Amino acid sequence: MGGDAPHKYTGDLVNIERGRISREIFSARAVYDDELERIFPKSWLFIGHESQVPEPGDYILSRMAEESVIFNRDRRGKLHVMLNNCRHRGMRVCRADSGNARKFMCPFHAWTFSDEGALIGVPKLDTGYHNELDKSQWGLIEARVARYHGFVFACWDEETPDFETYLGDLRFYFDDYCELPDGTFGDWQAFGGIFKWKVPCNWKFGAENFAGDYYHNPSHASVDQVVLSPAGTKGRHTYDEVTRERELYKLNICVTPEGHTARGELFKDDYDYIPTYQDMAVVEDYFRECYTKRQERLGEKARWFGHGGTIFPNVSYSNGVQSMGTWHPSGPNETEIWRIFLAPKDAPVEVKNVLRHYVIRYQGPAGLTEQDDMENWGSAHLGAKGTIARRHDFHYGMGMGYEQKGWPVEWLGGEVHATEDVSEQNQRAYYARWAEMMDTPPDTRRHPVSVEAAE
Amino acid sequence: MDQSPDKALMDQILVRYRVEQFYTMEAELLDGRQFEAWLDLLADDIRYWMPVTRNRNFGEWDGEHTNEGEDLNWFDEGKFELEQRVKQIMTGIHWAEEPVSRTTHMFSNLQVIDESADTLLTRVRFLIYRNRNETETDFFVGKRHDKLRRIGEGFEVAAREIYLDQSVLQAKNLTIFF
């Protein structure tokens, strides 16, 4: 490709400098097909949490873009992420959502793979293949795996930098998410089960909403009139009624080069613990103690109270409800959302129950909050499809030119920009990164095998 | 003349009739969007539970549903939480239900599997049709296991287990009641 070839995405469909983005990127099949080649295989994608496969042999099915993968812990304790796809004819070799297995057998011709993905069984290897099949070349296709404080990501591309480099300066914010309420890196425990459901919208609507959209509060006016907060007060967060006095700034943070995002509050420097769970002594004691420990451990940096954000391209982390929500692309017009929720492993059962009840009533298809988000994303998606509508770009210009670096406190620094309250800074950073990758053609679509292995 | 076999049968038919009448009235309230009146049919200590369903290998079917009070569940709540759901719909700005869904609740295959002086255990299959806006259409099909408590000649729902026959939920939300 010539160096002066015009970019299809950067500056055109995604015109960040003008704060305009074409509706095509949500609705056009050709754009979606490019995403499957140019975004997902080159990115670190969220797979699951280590606590979902605690014992040797444990596995769950996960997804990378449209494709099923096996996330397992082999008999020696090593984690793997492997394409759930027989190398012979492509059947899923694992068809249960979870279980414990030492091997995976394809139901079609019974090719059998070990828990490390090695091809260990081929019926009629002698009479059919005349012992000329090099089994070592036909194991399951395995992805690179990164473990980050128990959260597991995978990537197909050898050239993509390691996960920590990929995170860039989101590390401060994602570390904050990974820390237990007491500010230490202890064990989270995923609750059993995964929420999986289908929403009629492009996968990016969820990703950009969670990137930092305080502007969408009107979506949630109904839930804010009822009791959802785990404190038993009106509103959907504890900070709606109980703890809002401690907030100094509500911030959007974008990790500018990598396109990751965070949102949260910066507390006043003289805030104190505010009694929140007054009807539940065990829970109140737990969080009060966590607060004290976190203050001691983090010092001034404890003033950052993360709400969540999006790790490019398609997983959003939510603090408090402590969930990981993955926006799996299922065609340009549909997203399959998967959510897991976690609680501190060693917390009292009362705390876990409060958190669990809160999260399943907040997020997911039965969640009082997320229900209204999905309604909007579905409508926005329809609005991105019309012939006439598509001639008119979406407006992503809120807060343009007001992004600040090293603000409001120096230690929130690095390659990040911040804006206060409502702004579309985070969406602009996200789509700038997206456009940059979309303008980079993939190296190859096929992996031809060597002559020997092709026998 | 010994009429006891007939009497036992008549008693069963009478119980079934009362349960059917109760469920028919309940469906009428839900489909008529009389959600507050529907709440009155629920015991103050109701447990309302719908697990998440998973694909499991042969022989591991006991892990097919997530556990009440422990795992993620589509619903795992009591009356207070159900009241909040109704209140949210009644704000008129719960966008997932505004405009509100058209629903038709159907039940069949009624079994009264246990009966005591105070309570009945029942099972039905349910089929709920939901249509919204122009083309949004969902079918929710599954099994419902209820514990009904006798209140005079009628009942209240003391516990409801809802088993939806889907692993990946095919609807974008669960804003309706089962």
Are residues A220 and A91 part of one domain? no
Who contacts A414 (Cβ-Cβ below 8 Å, separation ≥6)?
A168, A169, A172, A255
Are residues A118 and A264 part of one domain? no
The span from the CA of B107 to the CA of B109, in Å, is: 7
Question: What is the ipTM for the molecules in this complex?
Answer: 0.96
Contact across the interface for A361 and B170, Cβ inside 8 Å? no
Nearest to A99 among B56, B84, B170 (CB): B56
For A171, the 3-state DSSP assignment is helix
Backbone angles phi, psi at B175, to 5 degrees: -90, -5
The span from the CA of A69 to the CA of A143, in Å, is: 9
Who contacts A137 (Cβ-Cβ below 8 Å, separation ≥6)?
A449, A450, A452, A453
The Cα of B67 is separated from the nearest Cα of chain A by a number of Å equal to: 8
* Residue B173 with chain A: CB contacts under 8 Å: 365-366, 371, 374-375
pLDDT of residue A451: 56
Are residues A400 and A285 part of one domain? yes
Q: What is the mean pLDDT of residues A152-171?
A: 97
- Residue A35 belongs to some domain of the structure: no
Are residues A136 and A53 part of one domain? yes
Contact across the interface for A225 and B56, Cβ inside 8 Å? no
**Residue A5: pLDDT band with limits 50, 70, 90:** low
Strands (E), A127-169: 144-148, 151-155
Contact across the interface for B94 and A371, Cβ inside 8 Å? yes
User: For the CA atoms of A396, A401, A406, A412, what is the dihedral angle to 10 degrees?
Assistant: -20
pLDDT at B1 over 60: no
The span from the CA of A357 to the CA of A353, in Å, is: 6
A341 touches chain B (CB under 8 A): yes
Domain containing A124 — which CATH number?
2.102.10.10
Nearest to B169 among A196, A228, A371 (CB): A196
Are residues A247 and A347 part of one domain? yes
The span from the CA of A445 to the CA of A295, in Å, is: 51
- Residue A202 belongs to some domain of the structure: yes
Digit-coded pLDDT (tens) for A388-444: 999 999 999 999 999 999 999 999 989 999 999 999 999 999 999 999 999 999 876
- CA proximity to A117, closest of A137, A142, A153: A142
- Among A360, A370, A376, the strongest candidate for a mutation testing the B interface, having the largest count of B CBs within 10 A, is A360
How many interchain CB pairs under 8 A, A with B?
124
Q: Which tokens is A308 given?
A: 């969540």
Are residues A311 and A376 part of one domain? yes
Contact across the interface for A378 and B168, Cβ inside 8 Å? no
The conformational region for residue A355 under phi > 0 = left, psi -120 to 50 = alpha, else beta, is alpha
pLDDT of residue A6: 66
The Cα of B83 is separated from the nearest Cα of chain A by a number of Å equal to: 9
B172 touches chain A (CB under 8 A): yes
- CA proximity to A197, closest of A330, A307, A308: A330
Domain containing A252 — which CATH number?
3.90.380.10
For A74, the 3-state DSSP assignment is coil
Are residues A400 and A273 part of one domain? yes
The span from the CA of A61 to the CA of A63, in Å, is: 7
* Residue B47 with chain A: CB contacts under 8 Å: none
The span from the CA of A80 to the CA of A168, in Å, is: 24
**Residue B153: pLDDT band with limits 50, 70, 90:** confident
The span from the CA of A420 to the CA of A404, in Å, is: 9
Are residues A434 and A305 part of one domain? yes
**Residue B46: pLDDT band with limits 50, 70, 90:** very high
Nearest to A191 among B72, B81, B97 (CB): B72
Q: What is the mean pLDDT of residues B25-36?
A: 98
Are residues A294 and A199 part of one domain? yes
Among A111, A144, A177, the domain boundary falls at: A144
The span from the CA of A440 to the CA of A315, in Å, is: 22
pLDDT at B5 over 90: no
Among A144, A178, A198, the domain boundary falls at: A144
Contact across the interface for A365 and B169, Cβ inside 8 Å? yes
Cα→Cα distances A136→A62, A119, A160, A253, A323, Å: 25, 7, 25, 46, 39
**Residue A39: pLDDT band with limits 50, 70, 90:** very high
Contact across the interface for B66 and A193, Cβ inside 8 Å? yes
Strands (E), A275-415: 304-311, 315-318, 323-329, 335-344, 394-395
- Residue A190 belongs to some domain of the structure: yes
Question: Mean pLDDT over all residues of chain A?
Answer: 94
- Among A336, A371, A382, A385, the strongest candidate for a mutation testing the B interface, having the largest count of B CBs within 10 A, is A371
Contact across the interface for B72 and A374, Cβ inside 8 Å? no
Helix crossing, A425-438 with A203-212: angle to 10°? 140
pLDDT of residue A130: 98
Strands (E), A237-333: 247-255, 260-267, 304-311, 315-318, 323-329
Q: What is the mean pLDDT of residues B111-131?
A: 97
Q: Are A367 and A360 in contact (CB under 8 A)?
A: yes
The span from the CA of B164 to the CA of B74, in Å, is: 10
pLDDT at A121 over 60: yes
Backbone angles phi, psi at A383, to 5 degrees: -70, -10
B71 touches chain A (CB under 8 A): yes
Backbone angles phi, psi at A365, to 5 degrees: -65, -25
Are residues A426 and A327 part of one domain? yes
B135 touches chain A (CB under 8 A): no
- CA proximity to A372, closest of A161, A187, A221: A221
Number of neighbours of residue B94 by Cβ within 10 angstroms: 24
B90 touches chain A (CB under 8 A): no
* Burial of residue B59 (number of CB atoms within 10 Å: 0-12, 13-18, 19+): exposed
Whole-angstrom Cα Rg for chain B = 18
B122 touches chain A (CB under 8 A): no
| Domains of chain B by start residue, with CATH | 4-164 (3.10.450.50)
- Residue A279 belongs to some domain of the structure: yes
- Residue A37 belongs to some domain of the structure: no
Task: Give the residue numbers spanning the domain of A97.
Answer: 45-144
The Cα of B58 is separated from the nearest Cα of chain A by a number of Å equal to: 9
Digit-coded pLDDT (tens) for A73-83: 999 999 999 99
Number of domains chain A is built from: 2
Q: Are B46 and B157 in contact (CB under 8 A)?
A: yes
- Residue A2 belongs to some domain of the structure: no
- Residue A160 belongs to some domain of the structure: no
* Residue A225 with chain B: CB contacts under 8 Å: 87-88, 91
Are residues A204 and A111 part of one domain? no
- Residue A445 belongs to some domain of the structure: no
Are residues A305 and A250 part of one domain? yes
